[in-house]
Amino acid sequence: SSGINAEWPLRPGFSHGKYSNYVEKAASLPELSETQATKLRILTILRMSINKRVLKYSDMLAETGLNNSRDLEQVIIQSIQHNVLDCRIDEANEQVFVNQISGYNVTVDQQDYLLNALSQWSESCRSTTEKMQNDVDIATNKLKTNMQETADFQRSVEAAKASVKKEKPVREASSAKSRKRLA
């Protein structure tokens, strides 16, 4: 019970804060175990990923309190292995391209950002749906036109066949007369 109470001040850091916030208040907080520090660093990277899709190593190093790229990459790899971060690491340019992050607690100050992002996504979905419906309407109209043209063509072919059948006996008779005259 006393262990839980001693760690209680850490809870906000793990739900809303970043590693740099912990460092600022470290004197008044319990010391983090290596596992806790790693988890808070992972959560820090997730927190940074909410607002940005491209994260620079320099920014992540500053926020996670790590001293070198290798240690940072290890934390990023752990994030990927724990399925909380889907990203591509660009070691040459020292940046990470974030594709997706797992769910995370949103603070009051991030609600507007989240609402804006969801509104943009909703508008994008609506726009895409309208474009798709327009394409379906165009395709449906073309199909109807093609079907009508095919039906008209079939009627023309049938009319031509009927005309040829009517003319065939007349042609055969005139052809027979022509042969008789030539003979």
Q: pLDDT tens digits, residue range 91-121?
A: 999 999 999 887 665 666 667 777 888 889 8
Q: Is the pLDDT of residue 3 over 50?
A: no
Contacts of 80 by beta carbon, 8 Å cutoff, 6+ apart = 86, 87
Which of 77-81, 99-103, 105-109, 138-142 has the largest mean confidence?
Answer: 138-142
- DSSP secondary structure, 77-112, as one string: HHHHHTTSEEEEEETTTTEEEEEEE------HHHHH
pLDDT in tens, 165-176: 877 666 666 666
Q: How many CB atoms lie within 10 A of CB 64?
A: 25
Return the DSSP state at 33.
P
Q: How many CB atoms lie within 10 A of CB 75?
A: 20
Q: Which long-range contacts (CB under 8 A, 24 or more apart) does 103-106 make?
A: 104/43, 104/46, 104/47, 104/50, 105/15, 105/16, 106/50
